[in-house]
Amino acid sequence: MIPLHWYLVLAAVLFLIGVLGFFLKRNIITLLLSVEIMLNAVNLTFVAFSSQHGLISGQIFVFFVLVVAAAEAAVGLALVIAMFRNRESLNVDRSNLLKW
C-alpha cells in the first residue's frame, strides 16, 4: 500500500520542476513544455485524491484538464509559429513590447 502523501510529494516535486523550468529557460517551446509538466503534476494530485476518497469526480476533472491542455497547446504553438515568423528567434525575452 502506497501512502497518499508519497504521491502528493511526488506531484509537488514535479510541479516545482515545471515552475523552475518556466522562468529559468528562455526558449518559448521549453516554456510550453514546462507548463505541460505542471499540468501533469496537478493531474497526478487529482487522481491520487480521487483514488484516496473513492470519488470519480477527481478523474473527471483530470479529463477536462487534459482537454484544455490540448486546446491550449494547439493555440500556443500557433502563436509560437507566428512569433517565430516575425522575429526569427525563439527567445521569449525578445517579445517585450508590452514594457513601460
Partner 1 sequence: MDFSNWLWLIPISPLLGAVINGILGRRLSKSVIGIIGAGTVALSFVISLGAFLQMLQAPASAMPIIRNYFVWIQAGEFHANFGFLLDHLSGLMILIVTGVGFLIHVYSTGYMHDDSGFYRFFAYLNLFMFSMLTLVLANNYLLMFVGWEGVGLCSYLLIGFWFGKKSATDAGKKAFIVNRVGDFGFILATMLIFWTFKSVDYGQVFAAAASFPLEPLGMIGTVTAICLLMFVGATGKSAQIPLYVWLPDAMEGPTPVSALIHAATMVTAGVYMIARSASLFDRAPGALLVVACVGAGTAIFAASIALVQTDIKKVLAYSTVSQLGYMFLACGAGAYAVGVFHLMTHAFFKALLFLGAGSVIHGMGGIQDIEKMGGLRHKMPWTFRTFLVGTLAIAGIPGLAGFFSKDMILAAAWESPNYGHILWAVGLLTAGFTSFYMFRLLILTFFGEARYTHHDVHHVHESPASMLIPLVILAIGSIGGGYLNIPGYLGFESAESASSSMEHLLMAASIAAALTGLAVAWLFYVARPEWPARIASGADAFYSILTHKYYIDEIYDAIIVLPLLVTSREFLWKIVDTLMIDGTVNGIGQVIRSSADGLRHMQSGYVRTYAAWILAGGVLVIAWFLR
Partner 2 sequence: MIQILFFFFAALAVGAAINVLAQKHVLYSSLALIVMLTAVSALFILLQAEFLAVINVIVYAGAIMVLFVFVIMLLNLPADPAGEDGSDRLRWLKLIGIPLGIFLLLMVGATVWNVSNSTNATQMTGTAQAIGQSLFTDYLLPFELTSLLILIALMGAVVFAKKDL
| Residue ranges in contact with partner 1 by CB under 8 A | 19, 22-24, 26, 31, 92-93, 95-100
Query: Residue 26 or 53: which CB sits closer to partner 1?
Result: 26
Grid cell 482537454 in the structure block, residue: 67
Query: Residue 51 or 95: which CB sits closer to partner 1?
Result: 95
What value, to the nearest 5°, has the Cα angle with vertex 36 and ends 33 and 39? Answer: 155
Task: Name the binder of 87 from partner 1, partner 2, none, CB < 5-8 A by kind.
Answer: none
Grid cell 517551446 in the structure block, residue: 29
Q: How far apart are CA 10 and CA 18, in angstroms?
A: 12
Could you tell me which residues are beta bridge partners of residue 27? Answer: 91
Residues 3-62 that bind partner 2 (CB under 8 A): 3-10, 12-21, 23-30, 32-34, 36-37, 40, 43-44, 47-48, 50-54, 56-57, 59-60, 62
